[in-house]
Structure 1
């Protein structure tokens, strides 16, 4: 076995070989160039596309959120307006009902008053007719009594008896 005590001719400082280092540096630079050309460019393109996609998705989500907020605000406004309209309809119905109630009550009072006045007039007319009929009957009875009295002179008892008979006759004629 041979010992590694001999040094190569192109050895550098501190045991590093300058040729190997230069070769490695050359290949590293070539690798960087190749990576930049074939990997870094497409990778950056993919990253850029991905960044644009994410940005577009965030923008679309923001637009959707804004539209949803706008739709929610519109729905809330429409609901508020609908509630106000419903309350207005209820209030109108209540006032119309109250007006109709007053009209019905007033019409009923007027009709009752008209019926009462009509009944009073009818009662007055019937009373007048009854008084007239009674007067006619009394006059007729008076004439009959007078004619009987004239035909014969009668005593007070006969006169009373005669009056009673005519009163009974008048009662039966009714």
Structure 2
């Protein structure tokens, strides 16, 4: 079987009617749909244009706001650093005040301890002196007693000797 080749484009009556239908559709489209669709396309184009302009304006505003935010952030960081420095300075001052107060209290305690030690030493010396006086008095009494006893004894012995000597 031999294959028949068909022409690439065949012009016949159907093609003619299709061309006529196409032009009728173009006429109908131009007559009733061109203006409404054109208006719709124009409104859409205007909306898109206004949205693009608004977007560029918003982008500029956002860039300005970002710059403002960055400057505010820098200022906040500087202020935070200043606050930290002030707080550290106050803490150092407070620490120094506490250390000075502690030194003063230590010195007061040492002075009071020294005074108390001096007082205790004086009291101990006084007690010791009184004890020494008491011992000296007791020793003197014993010595006197012994001397008196020895005198009495020697007196008694002398009297005895005298009496014995008289008797002889």
The reply to whether TM is greater than 0.5 is yes
Distance 1:66 1:149, change over 3 A: same
Instruction: Normalising by structure 2, report the TM-score.
Output: 0.62
Equivalent residue, structure 2, for 1:160? none
Offset, 1:53: 2.5
CA–CA distance in structure 2, aligned partners of residues 151 and 49 of structure 1: 145
CA–CA distance in structure 1, aligned partners of residues 122 and 115 of structure 2: 10
RMSD (Å) for aligned C-alpha atoms: 2.5
- Give the match's secondary structure for 1:71: helix
CA–CA distance in structure 1, aligned partners of residues 147 and 38 of structure 2: 158
Equivalent residue, structure 2, for 1:94? 92
Name which of 60, 63, 72 aligns with 1:62.
Answer: 60
Name which of 68, 80, 83 aligns with 2:81.
Answer: 83
Q: Aligned pair 1:133/2:131, yes or no?
A: yes
Deviations 1:38-82 (A, max 9, x none): 698777655544432321110011111112112222222222211
CA–CA distance in structure 2, aligned partners of residues 88 and 61 of structure 1: 40
Equivalent residue, structure 1, for 2:107? 109
CA–CA distance in structure 1, aligned partners of residues 48 and 149 of structure 2: 147
Equivalent residue, structure 2, for 1:145? 143
Deviations 1:3-24 (A, max 9, x none): xxxxxxxxxxxxxxxxxxxxxx
- 5 Å-filtered alignment, 1:24-39, equals none
Structure 2 residue ranges without an equivalent (≥5): 1-29, 155-168
Deviations 1:126-164 (A, max 9, x none): 111111111111111111111111122489xxxxxxxxx
In the alignment of these two chains, the number of paired residues is 120
Structure 1 residue ranges without an equivalent (≥5): 1-33, 156-174
Equivalent residue, structure 2, for 1:8? none
